[in-house]
Structure 1
Amino acid sequence: MGWAADWIEQTTLWVRGVEGDKPGKDGVEQRPLAKRLEATLKRGQEALSPRELRRLLEDLQQVADASLSDVEGGRHAQLLMDWYAKAALPAHKDFWALIIEQFGPDATALQAARERYDKAGSDVERSEAEMGLRRALMSSRTRMLQRFAQPQGGMGFLVDMRAELLALPKAEQRYVALDAELEHLFSNWFDVALLELKSLNWDSPASLLEKLIKYEAVHDIRSWSDLKNRLDSDRRCYGFFHPRMPKVPLIFVEVALVDKMSDSIAPLLDESAAAADIAKANTAIFYSISNTQSGLKGVSFGDSLIKHVVETLTQEFPKLKHFATLSPIPGLRSWLSKHGDAVLAELDDKQKAALQAAAGGVDMAHLLAALDDPASLKEKSAVRQAAMFCAARYLGRETAKGRPLDAVARFHLGNGARVERLNWAADLSPKGHKQSMGLMVNYLYDLKRLDKHRSLLAQGKIPVSSEIESLCKN
């Protein structure tokens, strides 16, 4: 019954109204939407006048009108989309508030349906009550949003609108109902069964290649020649596309075909390097995975992307035996700054003495200062060994609510990979140094052990290689 309770709890977001009067920027209390709709004159910092607000409400009602066909409702939606594109953020907020307040489920009917569910005494009664609860949740808002998705560009409009909502300060919670309903709709509309995996190469349309440059989130694409290198004969790039957004990859992955597991990003990004002989390739390295649509936050299709890409690669290159990443560790330095001293305290007396001599202190401030030039540190350096110990503990031991701390680790480990190897001085870019002192990690996708690794993770145990396990013990 726990799943039902969670589902019911989530639905409360859909009917939560906007807040009442609050001081505006000019110190004047902002009127609730209902009062503004009944008023005559605009006041203070209000974006739309009462007359404009009433007209906007009428236009939204046309979109949501059940007596109109979806085609006609979509036509009204297109007109509002055109208005929205020219309007500023304050007007957008009025638009969102109208959708939340005027088109949500009937709160009284929903409460009654929930009470019937809570009082259900048998499986039959509970099933009937659940059906009633679902019916009570049906609203004209859902129909309205569905009609906004119909015109050309409508799906992108909704995704961009949610991105705008998510960019608001966390303290501004009055639009949470709209965000929740959009996320729910997107989870169905962007189901992986509806997405198409496409290979992207140098012959792809220029407009699409520009999207790769724009949305690359791991290693910035510096130029067209940089992009061409990433699309060379020893590389592959794949993206998931939605039929209603055919010109924008929702997520894409860059792959290098090599003869061993990569331990540094520089050779992969070296534009002057000759293409590798793909006939000798036995390893596929996923070195960049980028989500392009912030409005699809919470809608996960990255794991399916990896699976589809592995299947596609093995069909083209049957000799491929190993699938791994070369990944950043974006949360490492930040975590060490807060918790690293406790990790260093676990070093034995001999290691502490060596670190004291090399760094001038057995604390994280001295260690980070000594890591200013990681490429100059030899393998047996006390500073390097301490940093590797800390990084291994961060990736291989530390969790929050049973989940890995690092966002990239959560993604790959959740897909069944394991923490395979730490790579010293693997990313010496300013970004790499700032995030993880130049360290990168390989996550290995062992196709025969994906389920085993997921099972371990479900038990709160991070799957790691023997090398990482040894580093954790120091």
Structure 2
Amino acid sequence: MMLKPLADAASSRGRRAALDLLSRRHSGGGTRALARVLDGCRRLLSERGEANSLAIAAELMPRLVALDDEARLRFFRHLADDFGPDPQGVLLAAQRFAEQPDAERLIALTAASEPPRQELLRRLNRAPGGTAGILRLRRALLAALRTQPGLAAVEADFLHLLSSWFNPGFLQMQPIDWRASAELLERLIEHEAVHEIQGWGDLRRRLQPDRRCFAFFHPQLPGEPLIFVEVALLPEMPAAIAPLIDPASPPRPARDFKVATFYSISNCEPGLKGVSLGNFLIKRVAEHLQRELPQLRSFCTLSPIPGFAAWLARDDAPAPPRWAQRVAAARETLTAAGGAAALGKGFDPVQCDGALREAIELLATVYLAHEAPTPRGDAVAKFHLGNGARLERLNWAGDLSRKGLKQSLGLMVNYLYDLRHVEEQHERFVHGEVSASRRIKRLP
């Protein structure tokens, strides 16, 4: 109800800023294009009729997406400076609510504090291709934010809206098999971020009956997977990745399907960074497989530990008091072997001596079981443990690829998803406690 005054205020400020900008800069193509875009944004915000609003948005979105890098950055600055809430209006509404905190004044305060740029994005989203265009804008905004911290409020508005529009309740989970379109299969090859797909033969093996792939799709982005997870159906919990992604391995018969292992999860849309999708996808897939294959006993992952080697190289990482002496001794063993940096070059877990292996396993267990809830924790561990999984087993020489050796000295880890306890274990992790199996709690 207060949007129109705010839009008018934003329009007035925006016109002054645009005129100032035009007077300072030469009349280049980027400047003219930006001026037309800003004028279109103000028209879109001030339009009352839905039909006209759609027409303006449909005309505006292609122009907005077509801005060059410099003009797009200036557009983001205009969003921050000219399409924010009116401070005086917010202050007045807040004072009135403080005097009498009833529903009417709360609604007025909420309307006053919402930036007009949020309504602008909502209206742009209604245009044909609007959702895809906004995702492209956010990709550019995230890149600009690295050197333009003043755009943080604009980014917060993008994230707020995208988190609503891409709520998992609106998303469609679909299995992907070899019969999918070539374009969709190419997306899988392009976006696989954990274990690179080595061409069509490799992909075909990953889509055999004992391998499954599931993805989330949005109704406004048909054929574009947002995130996908790859699953191996196995007789037991795996300890190494190579057999799972070996294109020459023979498919297993259905009678062997006892354990469903999530071995790769990849985001396809950088514009959705920070929007929670993966945790919902894993749970939905587990429930789907449990219905389809009731003989499955457990659901687990075979996961990398991408932050382990970097953590090992740190000297200031504290050890849990209970194991401080053992951790100190393990670090001394590591130092005697040349330190984490030396191990990262040509390290061979298969030829590693027993003392060094024990030291590395101890440190990896500490890293996963104690550091995960902290800012120093491993990103993959945070994802699965925060999703309600249990830290189940550490696997020596689980990933002997160059990437695996560099990031984690070849170690991999299993996280167990017990669907009966995921909510309870999620709550524990939120409060700083890692749910772990007995073998993990004992430490090596």
TM-score by length of 1: 0.83
Match of 1:59 in 2: 40
Choose the corresponding residue for 2:54, options 51, 74, 96.
74
Distance 1:349 1:360 in 2: 10
Cα deviations by residue, 1:238-290 (Å, 9 ceiling, x for unpaired): 11111111211111110000000011110011001101122221100000011
Q: C-alpha offsets along residues 342-389 of structure 1, whole Å, 9 cap, x if unaligned?
A: 659733899789x4xxx67177348736971112226xx111110000
Closer/same/farther in 2, CA of residues 33 and 176 from structure 1, 3 Å limit = farther
Mapped contact 1:63–1:73 kept (Cα < 8 A): yes
Per the alignment, residue 43 of structure 1 pairs with: 25
Change (3 A) 1:463 1:39: closer
| CA–CA separation in structure 2 for the residues paired with 1:397 and 1:157 | 42
- Note if contact 1:63-1:144 (Cα within 8 Å) is conserved in structure 2: yes
CA offsets per residue over residues 6-37 of structure 1, 9 Å max, x none? Answer: xxxxxxxxxxx9xxxxxxxxxxxxxx994552
- Counterpart-to-counterpart distance in 1, 2:216 and 2:344: 42
- Tell me the distance in 1 between the aligned counterparts of 2:156 and 2:317: 40
Between the aligned partners of 2:252 and 2:193, the Cα distance in structure 1 is: 25
CA contact (8 A) 1:395 1:404 kept: no
8 Å Cα contact 2:83-2:116 kept in structure 1: yes
Q: Which residue pairs with 2:431 in the alignment?
A: 459
Picking from 223, 241, 249, the partner of 2:199 is 223
User: Residue 206 of structure 1: which of 146, 159, 182 is its match?
Assistant: 182
Q: 1:398 aligns with which of 356, 364, 371?
A: 371
One of 324, 347, 359 as aligned partner of 2:326: 347
Indicate if the aligned counterparts of 2:330 and 2:360 stay in contact, CA closer than 8 A.
no
Match for residue 295 of structure 1 among 247, 264, 271: 271
Residue 384 of structure 1 corresponds to 357
Where do 1:29-428 residues align within 5 Å?
34-38=16-20, 41-43=23-25, 48-49=30-31, 52-69=33-50, 71-117=51-97, 119-120=98-99, 125=101, 127-138=103-114, 140-339=116-315, 346-347=325-326, 355=333, 361=336, 364-365=339-340, 368=343, 372-377=347-352, 381-399=354-372, 401=374, 405-428=377-400
Is residue 367–residue 383 contact of structure 1 (8 Å, CA) maintained in 2? no
Per-residue deviation, 1:73: 2.2
Q: Percent identity?
A: 38
Give the direction of change, closer, same or farther, for the CA distance of 1:341–1:300 in structure 2 (3 Å limit): closer
1:9 aligns to what? Answer: none
Classify 1:146/1:365 alpha carbon distance in 2 versus 1 (closer, same or farther; 3 Å): closer
Relative to structure 1, is the Cα distance of residues 125 and 72 closer, same or farther in structure 2, using a 3 angstrom cutoff?
Answer: same
Q: Identify if the C-alpha distance between structure 1 residues 89 and 367 changes in structure 2 by more than 3 Å, giving closer, same or farther.
A: closer
Greater shift in the superposed pair: 72-81 or 460-469: 72-81
Residue deviations 1:86-126, cap 9 Å, x none? 33110112222333333332221112223344x35xxx726
- Return the alpha-carbon distance in structure 2 between the equivalents of residues 85 and 351 of structure 1: 54
**Cα distance in 1, alignment partners of residues 210 and 94 from structure 2:** 57
**Compared CA separation, residues 350 and 431, structure 1 to 2 (3 A):** closer
Mapped partners of 2:340, 2:210: distance in 1: 42
Paired letter, 1:391: A
Aligned-pair CA distance for 1:41: 4.4
**1:301 Cα deviation after fit:** 2.2
The alignment partner of 1:240 has SS state of strand
Asked whether the 8 Å contact 1:340–1:363 carries over to 2, the reply is: no
Unaligned 5+ segments in structure 1 are: 1-16, 18-31
Partner of 2:4: none
Q: Aligned in 2, Cα 1:127/1:455: closer, same or farther, shift over 3 Å?
A: same
Contact in 1 for aligned 2:209/2:251 (Cα 8 Å)? yes
Q: Which residue of structure 1 lines up, in the alignment, with residue 3 of structure 2?
A: none
**CA RMSD between the two structures:** 2.9
Distance 1:364 1:311 in 2: 44
Q: How does 1:427-446 map to 2 (within 5 A)?
A: 427-446=399-418
Q: Which runs of 5+ in 2 are unaligned?
A: 1-9
Label 1:47 to 1:155 Cα distance change in 2 as closer, same or farther (>3 A). same
* Amino acid corresponding to residue 43 of structure 1 in structure 2: R
Instruction: Tell me the alpha carbon deviations over residues 417-446 of structure 1, each in whole angstroms, 9 at most, x when there is no partner.
Output: 111001111111111111101111100011
TM-score under structure 2 length normalisation:
0.88
Q: Assess if the C-alpha contact under 8 Å between 2:61 and 2:127 holds in 1.
A: no
